[in-house]
Amino acid sequence: MLYFLWMLLEVLALIVPLLLAIAYLTLLERKLMAAYQRRKGPNVVGVYGLLQALADGVKLLLKESIFPSNADKLLFLVAPILSFSLSLMGWAVISYNQTAVFADLNLGILYLLAISSIAVYGLIIAGWSSNSKYAFLGCLRSSAQMISYEVSIGFILLTIVLCTNSFNITNIIEFQEEGYLFFPLFPIAILFFISMLAETNRHPFDLPEAEAELVSGYNVEYSAAGFVLFFLAEYGNILLMSSLSSILFFGGWLDFFSWFHLPGVINFAIKIIFFAVFFITARALLPRLRYDQLMNLGWKYFLPISISLVLIVASLVTIEL
């Protein structure tokens, strides 16, 4: 009994700060977008609008859930729960400092790749069960886009594994004590940063949610709690990809420089915030691609380049051995 209580406390210690981080990521996005567009943004609810995210969440949760008349109600309910659950499951293997990790798996990288692959099913089920042409087109776009860029991400992760000789996330971080992998693997890092925008359906790759032609994409028929779960899943995935980027290329919880001795969690949080700002800035600056441009970029450019870089890194590692 005590063991299960301890596990429950560990889960809550992981999920509650994560949900708060997601809530305030939305506020950060609205504030930064307002600054880029020379307006104030949320500034009424709470001091400087700090309670705006919580007010929006309460408002949406108190609204009535509406079910389309011809929808498959069971799958319609399951889809947002599945997407939200999978967005949380990825955090189980993320290492916050030398000792704080929920599950220190030896195959942590493969676990994250598997979770991101399964996440496609939540979007497909949502689009199909809604019985709406716009939602269905959005889920088709999303599944094709995520599968296309996951292939490149898989090869990019393989280069990291070849360099560090480990699938364990803690080992990958500790390998970078002598220097971040961002500098020797600069082209691979750039590919990964662009691919993670496509993987999370963010600008300029937000074709599944294109307002102009699809209204809102796969979640167009959702309201109240269902919409909240999809919203939390999307921003949870943004934070997850930001944390993965900092782990793979910037040493996770390691110090920035030898003369800084901040706690590991603070180092990690600063790096995550940096990548979260990168997501928001991309949304503010870049126009949306056409769908054919998105697919061409993934299959005709990113995939051949990522395969070539894997072969080059493998050759260099073999020569050193």
Would you kindly state where each structural domain of the chain is located, as residue ranges?
Answer: 16-62, 63-320
C-alpha torsion sign, points 250, 233, 52, 198: positive
Confidence (pLDDT) at 135: 83
| pLDDT tens by residue, 81-103 | 999 999 888 888 888 877 777 87
- Does the structure show a pLDDT above 80 at 205? yes
Confidence (pLDDT) at 103: 78
d(CA 156, CA 143): 20
- Does the structure show a pLDDT above 70 at 195? yes
Arithmetic mean of pLDDT, 72-76: 87
In this prediction, residue 304 has a pLDDT band, given cuts at 50, 70 and 90, of very high
In this prediction, residue 321 has a pLDDT band, given cuts at 50, 70 and 90, of low
Candidates 289, 287, 285; CA nearest to 32 is 285
pTM: 0.91
Coil, strand or helix at 289? coil
What is the average pLDDT score of the chain?
85
Cis previous bond, 204, omega within 30: yes
Q: Give the DSSP per-residue string, 62-101.
A: HSPP---TTS-HHHHHHHHHHHHHHHHHGGGG-B-SSS-B
In this prediction, residue 212 has a pLDDT band, given cuts at 50, 70 and 90, of low
In this prediction, residue 12 has a pLDDT band, given cuts at 50, 70 and 90, of confident
Arithmetic mean of pLDDT, 224-244: 89
CA-to-CA separations, 214 to 77, 135, 162, 219, in angstroms, rounded: 21, 7, 41, 10
In this prediction, residue 258 has a pLDDT band, given cuts at 50, 70 and 90, of low
Confidence (pLDDT) at 259: 57
The percent of residues above 70 in pLDDT, for the chain, comes to 95
- Does the structure show a pLDDT above 70 at 242? yes
Q: ∠ at Cα 303 (298, 305), nearest 5°?
A: 120
Check if the beta carbon of residue 122 is closer than 8 Å to that of residue 172: no
Arithmetic mean of pLDDT, 96-121: 84
- Does the structure show a pLDDT above 70 at 108? yes
Radius of gyration of the chain (CA): 20
| Least confident range of 54-63, 164-173, 215-224, 295-304 | 215-224
Confidence (pLDDT) at 210: 64
CA-to-CA separations, 125 to 75, 78, 118, in angstroms, rounded: 7, 8, 12
Check if the beta carbon of residue 254 is closer than 8 Å to that of residue 177: yes
Confidence (pLDDT) at 198: 87
Confidence (pLDDT) at 16: 86
Give φ, ψ of 104 to 5 degrees. Answer: -85, 75
